Structure 1
Amino acid sequence: MQTKPENDTDLRTKVNRETARLPWSELEKHFAAGNVVYVANDLDLVDVAVRISHDDKATIVQWMADGKVMKVSDQQALRWQEAEASLWAVVVSPFILVQEEKPRAQ
Structure 2
Amino acid sequence: MSDLHAELADRLDEAEWDWLMPHVDRDALVIVSPDLDLVDVGVAIANDDTGPVQGWIEQQLLRKPTHQQITIWNDNPQKRFKALILQPYVLIQDVA
TM-score (norm 1): 0.84
| Aligned equivalent of 2:17 | 24
Instruction: Please give the residue correspondences for 1:38-53 in structure 2 after superposition, counting only pairs within 5 Å.
Output: 38-53=31-46
| Aligned equivalent of 2:94 | 100
Task: Report SS of the residue matched to 1:87.
Answer: strand
| Aligned equivalent of 1:60 | 53
Equivalent pairs, count: 95
Which residue identity does 1:43 align to in structure 2? L
Gaps of 5+ in 1: 1-7
Q: CA-to-partner distance for each residue in 1:16-35, whole Å, 9 max, x for gaps?
A: 11011000101101111100
Task: Report SS of the residue matched to 1:78.
Answer: helix
Gaps of 5+ in 2: none
TM-score (norm 2): 0.92
Q: Percent identity?
A: 28
Dislocated runs of 4+, deviation >6 Å: none
Q: CA RMSD in A?
A: 1.2
